[in-house]
Amino acid sequence: MLITNGTLITWGEPNQILEGQAIYVRGDRIAEIGPQQALLARFPGEERLDAGGQFVMPGNICAHTHFYGAFARGMAIPGPAPQDFPEILKKLWWPLDKSLTEKDVRASALVMLVDAIRHGTTTLIDHHASPNAIEGSLDVIAGAVEKSGLRAVLCYEVTDRDGEEKALRGIAENVRFIERCRRESVAEGRVKATFGLHASLTLSEQTLERCRQEAPQGAGFHIHLAEHEADEYDSLAKSGARVVDRLSRHDILGPNTIVAHAVHVDAREIAELAQTQTWVTHQPRSNMNNGVGAAPVESILRAGARMCLGTDGFSHTMWEEWKAAYLLHKVWHRDPRRMPGNAVAEMGAYNNARLAEIFFDEAPLGVLTPGACADLLFVDYHPHTPLSPGNLPWHIIFGFHESMVTTTIVAGKVLMQDRHLLTLDEAAIAAQARELAPEVWQRYEGFVGRS
């Protein structure tokens, strides 16, 4: 396939904006990028996809999300509003994830995948929980991802909050799915696995030890970390160590591990995250929504730790997350110099791509270059001021909107063309979720008083 008449944003290092160039896609990869006339002459019979003057750029990557949260939209939390993050967990997320059957897990994943294709997020790193539908839940999500055509990294959140037996079943689900992904190519290699842990505050010493022992050789972990002070105080009470030190003692950190949030880490913990080359993800919309504060993102980046951007189950609109990151730190510090656009791009474009590449290690991701995965977006943006590699982050933050994404391509396959979804039936998926939602909400109301 030849992609013609686009302005290419490469997100290479350095980033380039190329005019008059076409992309030759062969199979699931970008085979060549070159002058359009020359490529048209060389491949006269090749199928063409005309970008019609739009921007063509790599698909967005989400470093941390929860497909299972789809049914929370519009759901009422009974009683007084939760007053802090631990209450939000107890009154919203824990009774909600308990309410999910296997059917609901599939429906919520499909809803989120429609959202991702429509908004140009082509790779998603998910963190799943469904305590009453554990076994096989990752296969169910993998099936939805396969159908969608997107890429995803899946894991199951191990936790002690529902007792030892369910913790063991969560461990088994991770191990089984990691081994499956090593044994076979799941969704033609578009689905990968890691080992999920909920958060230090719901994991005993014994369970952490078990996870370390049971995790297949070389597998990393994906865990929430210091999202609220409660995680630090719980860790100190349980182990006498702050949460990063506790996870480090259990050998959970490292270059294949993702920790989400790191809002309340101290200087020594930041140094440990950097030294172990652990991936850290920032979810500013979620942090604002939960009122947990703002992560010390600039300090974490300056320490040399690899900070990425995720959505935490918000809509898969990564540029919205860029905007929130850009704005949050300015108001939090009351200083407009904080979190410049290029720091947001370092996380959202470059670090997210390098993180995704540890799972999808066959070819570069998140970059337009020969040999890279053909994961692309067309963006119908018409800048009214000059756009250059230098000022692109500010054009994205102030000018790009996900509604401008008209075409989404993953592994050389067109998933959305001219805003028309080709792999998933959006109306049918929404209708099915609407049908399931009242039962999910009813079960939730039954659990909410008991959590």
* 32 near Zn ion (CB under 5 A): no
Distance of closest approach, residue 314 Cβ to Zn ion, in angstroms: 10
Nearer to Zn ion, 260 or 377 (CB): 260
Interaction pattern, residues 5-24, with Zn ion; x per rule: CB under 5 A? --------------------
CA-only gyration radius of the chain, Å: 21
Please report, for residues 4, 341, 413, the alpha-carbon distance to residue 394 in angstroms, rounded to integers and kept in the order given.
26, 6, 30
Nearer to Zn ion, 134 or 260 (CB): 260
Distance of closest approach, residue 316 Cβ to Zn ion, in angstroms: 14
Cβ contacts of residue 366 below 8 Å, gap of 6+? 11, 58, 59, 61, 123, 349, 350, 352, 353, 356, 357, 375
**Which of the ranges 158-166, 266-274, 304-312, 321-329 carries the binding residues for Zn ion, by CB under 5 A?**
304-312
Distance of closest approach, residue 308 Cβ to Zn ion, in angstroms: 13
* 312 near Zn ion (CB under 5 A): yes
Nearer to Zn ion, 285 or 395 (CB): 285
**Which of the ranges 7-15, 310-318, 349-357, 371-379 carries the binding residues for Zn ion, by CB under 5 A?**
310-318
Residue nearest Zn ion, CB atom distance? 312
Q: 214-273: which residues touch Zn ion (CB under 5 A)?
A: 260
Torsional sign, CA 383, 387, 389, 394: negative
Nearer to Zn ion, 320 or 375 (CB): 320
Nearer to Zn ion, 290 or 351 (CB): 290
Nearer to Zn ion, 39 or 260 (CB): 260
Distance of closest approach, residue 405 Cβ to Zn ion, in angstroms: 24
Distance of closest approach, residue 160 Cβ to Zn ion, in angstroms: 18
* 402 near Zn ion (CB under 5 A): no
Nearer to Zn ion, 92 or 260 (CB): 260
The residue ranges that bind Zn ion (CB under 5 A) are 260, 312
